[in-house]
Structures are given as C-alpha cells and as structure tokens.
Amino acid sequence: RADAPRNEAPVTDVSLGEPWLMAETGAPLTLAEAQAAWRAGAFREGLRGSLGLGARPHWMRVEAHNPRASALGMHYRIGMSWLDRVTLHVVHGGSVQAFRLGDDLPGALYVEPGLGMVVPVTLAPGRTELWVRVDTPDPLLLSPRLWSSDELVRTKRATAYGYGALYGYIGALAVFFALLWLSLGAQSNSAYSVYLLSFIALNVGYTGHGWFGLWPQAVDLQRYVNLVLMTTFGSAGMVFGLRYLGLDVTRPRLSRGLMGFAVVGLASVPLCAVFGAHEAAVLAAFPYTLVATAVPVVLGGMVALRARGQDVSANYYLAAIVFGLGGAVVTTLSVWGLLPFTVSGFHALEVGVALEATLLALGLSHQVRDRERVRQQASLQARTDALTGLPNRLAFEERASLAWRLSVRHHRPLSALVLDVDRFKAINDELGHQAGDDCLRWLARQIQEQCRVTDVPVRWGGDEFVVLMPELGADEAAAMAERLRAVAQARPASEGGALGLSLGVAERGPDTATLEALLHAADWALLQAKRAGRNRVAIAGRDVA
C-alpha cells in the first residue's frame, strides 16, 4: 500500500465535484469505453444514496480540483468496505493510475474500519478525474469523500474512539448479564447477553473492522459473514424477546413457531453459501432480518397492551425495542437504498441499540428486583402462620435459638410461656369452625399486643401458643401471662365473649440444659394449670394457686 505524501497545512482549497453515475447494461466496460459513454452523455448527475441490493455494476465519475502549484497527497473514500469488485482510475491529463480493490481480493486492501474503502491518491495541480467501477451483489453504497492525511488521521481517531465507546458499553453490559445469568440463572439474562454480542459481531462485520483486523485473507468468509451476522442478530433479538416476555412459557405454540422461523432464517445464508448463490443469500438475509427485528415490537406491544401498561418490565421492553427497531430499520433501509443515505442514517442502528441496551438493562434489573420480592414474600409466607399471621414454628426455631444462646452466654433471664384455650373444642362445636378461627385470630392479636419486640411469639399448633421472653424472670412472665388471661376473660361480647386460658410459665434455671427442656417445663406447668381447674397461670416448680 503506497503512502501518500503527508500534508501539514490544513487542506481546504482542494474540492471534490458532484458524482456522476452510469449503470453498465451489457458486458463490462473498459475505462476508455466508460469515458466514451461519458462524452456521449450517458452519465447522470448526483448520488442520492445506496444503489440497492443486486444492482447492475456502476461507474462513478468525480472530479477533484487542486488549485495549488504542486501535487497534493489526499485520501479518496469510495464507499463501504463490503463492495466486492472495485476499480479506481485516477486520470490526470494523459496519465492514468489504476487501483484494484474490494472484498473479492484478499488482504482487505484500502479498508479503513468504520470509514470504508479509502485510497491514497496524488492530485496533480488542476483537475483530476476519479473513475470508479463497482460490481457487487451487496448493497451498492458509494459515498465519495476526499480527506487530507491529517483529516484522515483525525477522522480515524474519532471513529476509533466512537467504536471503542460503543463496543465497550455494549460489551460490558453483555458480560454483566452473562455473569448475572451464571449467578442467578434466568434465561432472559443469557439471551440478552447473546443478543448484545450478536450486535457487536454484526457491527464489527459491516463496518469493516472484522475484514480489516480479523479475517483479511478469508475472502469467502467476508462474502457471507455480514449476511450470517445480520440473520443471527435478528434471530437473537427474537429469542431474547420470547424469553424476556416469558412467552416461551405462556405462549409455547407461538414461541415454537417463531423459533422455527429463526431456524429457517439462520439456515438460509449458509444454505445459499453452499450453492455459491451470493445474490440469493443477500435477497434472503435482508428481508428476513427486517421481519425478525419487527417481530419483537409486535410481541412487546402484545404483552404490554394485555397488561394495560401495568407490566413495568414489558413497558421497558417495548420502549427499548422501538429504539432498537427504529435504528435497525433506518440503517437497513439506507443501506438497501430505500431511504436517502446519510451518515446519521447509517449510524442509526448503533445509536438505537445503545439506547435499547440501556432500557433493556433497566427492564432486566426490574425483573431481578421483582423475582427477589417474590422470593422474599415466599420466604416470609413460609415463616408465617396463615390463620393468625404470627410467626410459625420454623420462624420460632430460628429466633428462639438466638435468644437462648444470648441468655446462656450473658447469664440473662429467659422465660417461656405456653398457653392453651380452655375447652376450645366446645367453641368449635357450638359456634362453628369459623367462630373458632375468629377466636384464634383475636387471641393472636392480644398476644402480640402484650409482647415486647424482643419477645418471640408463635402459634404452636391448634389452640396452643408459645411466647419466649428474653430478659424476663418467672414472676414477670407470670404477670404478663396473668394480663393475657384477664384480657381473655374480659373479651367483649361482640368478639364472642369470655374466653378461658390456661397458661404455664417456666424460667431458665442453672439446670435447664436446652431450650426444649425450658419449653417442656412450661408445658408441664400448663398441664398443672389445666389439672387445677383451668383458666389460671401456673409457674414451673411452684404450687398452682
């Protein structure tokens, strides 16, 4: 690759004229024949954008003007790096300099990643004609531009920073969600990571980064790689959508249908490649990708509408996908030639996907938070008695063993209270099971009201309750038991009237070896209270009043 002479002063006086174009209709023309066609007026002025998919080979003639007295080394950008067969003739007076490039030749000749095909040209004083012939089944996208060496260096640097930031941001999100998937599971995380990576791969492909830096000798790969990456990106987006929205579970048939569609889309390009049908591959990949990128919008809209806007993560998804799809559609249509080509149009997909990735990351975090809330609720439910809302035995065991260990280590008092409703069976039998339930709920509320925050109340089962009371000796615990008994006795008639309670109290003593022994002592005291005629408090180791 010949290096152009370096210009230190800014070049503002060299100008590039309007491009003129002509489609070849028959056999390939030579430069002399194209020049004859030019003189015959066969070229038309102006280049509105891409010349489309599978366009006829085209000639483009552009004039550069160097008003200086000496020759200038400049860099001429012809078009995108994916063009297959490109010839450039630099014509000045009688001299012609020819360049052959394009991704049909190994070596990624004259490819500047992110910028396209850029050829160093020497512009002699006066007019120089730049004749380009392009022949490609890929989108025929030409965008002539002239840069000085300094401008090219600056443009390359800005482009490199831009792609570095884009790949860095999207790549970091992809890695983060892959790690989230490894630690939390949830296939939507892994599908999202794959989707983001497929975007980076696609972008590396179509901007020429891959052809330039990764596979410059692999001409066959370069011919099909962008098409494969497009269909992969479209399919990854669909699969992610199905997983994120949970449609693989809620709508299995639809999900299977779309998976089938994705398989057909993914297989189409490799199948065409096997038969060497490059043009067919292009004609399959573009429409498939357009449909595949539109499907997630329909899916997101469907789920968000059904939830009437209440499903926050579906709303995030829909907003995200609209950005991503908007970018994809604008870029695809600009490259395809169905929209006028502009630099912002070409980069719309990158901006759209960066916004989409941000919103989807928010949506996925919301899902993670939701799942955590459900998990916490389930854990709380597993520790709560469904009838009374008091802690159940599982929760009691966790908190009570802590209270026990603290009491033993710091030689602090600890008492247990066991209480049982008197003749509860009769309440059930006479007033009905519902009244029995109301009675247990009422009693649980009274127990909670009498408890300190450090006390550990529990519905032991049936009509039996236990309260573990740190820092209380037997007498204080018995006083609290007595208050409860009195409250139950004074139960308002509207609540079902007086209620007899038998209560047993025990304090941890030097001989109480375990928590179970303490509870057993309180239970024994309860039995004494029952035996002594019910509706009373008994303290372990003392006579019942």
Q: Note the residues at the interface with ligand GTP (CB under 6 A).
A: 387, 420-425, 428, 433, 436-437, 440, 462-463, 530, 534
Q: Distance between CA 442 and CA 457 in Å, rounded?
A: 14
Residue in 464, 466, 383, 369 with CA at minimum distance from that of residue 417 = 466
**Taking the CB of residue 9, how many other CB atoms lie within 10 A of it?**
8
Nearest distance from residue 505's CB to ligand GTP, in Å? 17
Q: What strands, in cross-sheet order, belong to the sheet with 537-539? A: 456-461, 464-470, 414-421, 501-507, 537-539
175 versus 387: smaller Cβ distance to ligand GTP = 387
Nearest distance from residue 387's CB to ligand GTP, in Å? 5
Nearest distance from residue 397's CB to ligand GTP, in Å? 20
262 versus 427: smaller Cβ distance to ligand GTP = 427
The tokens describing 475, both together, are 């007498």
- End-to-end Cα separation, the chain, in angstroms: 109
Burial of 449 (0-12, 13-18, 19+ CB in 10 A): exposed
Length of the chain: 545
Nearest distance from residue 418's CB to ligand GTP, in Å? 12
155 versus 388: smaller Cβ distance to ligand GTP = 388
221 versus 532: smaller Cβ distance to ligand GTP = 532
Torsion 471-473-479-483 (CA) sign: positive
Alpha-carbon Rg for the chain, nearest whole angstrom, is: 40
Nearest distance from residue 353's CB to ligand GTP, in Å? 57
Q: Which residue is nearest to ligand GTP (CB)?
A: 436
| DSSP assignment string, 33-53 | HHHHHHHTT--EE---S---T
Nearest distance from residue 528's CB to ligand GTP, in Å? 13
Could you tell me if 257 and 112 are in contact, meaning their C-beta atoms sit under 8 angstroms apart? no
Nearest distance from residue 530's CB to ligand GTP, in Å? 6
51 versus 419: smaller Cβ distance to ligand GTP = 419
Could you tell me if 64 and 127 are in contact, meaning their C-beta atoms sit under 8 angstroms apart? yes
286 versus 465: smaller Cβ distance to ligand GTP = 465
136 versus 388: smaller Cβ distance to ligand GTP = 388
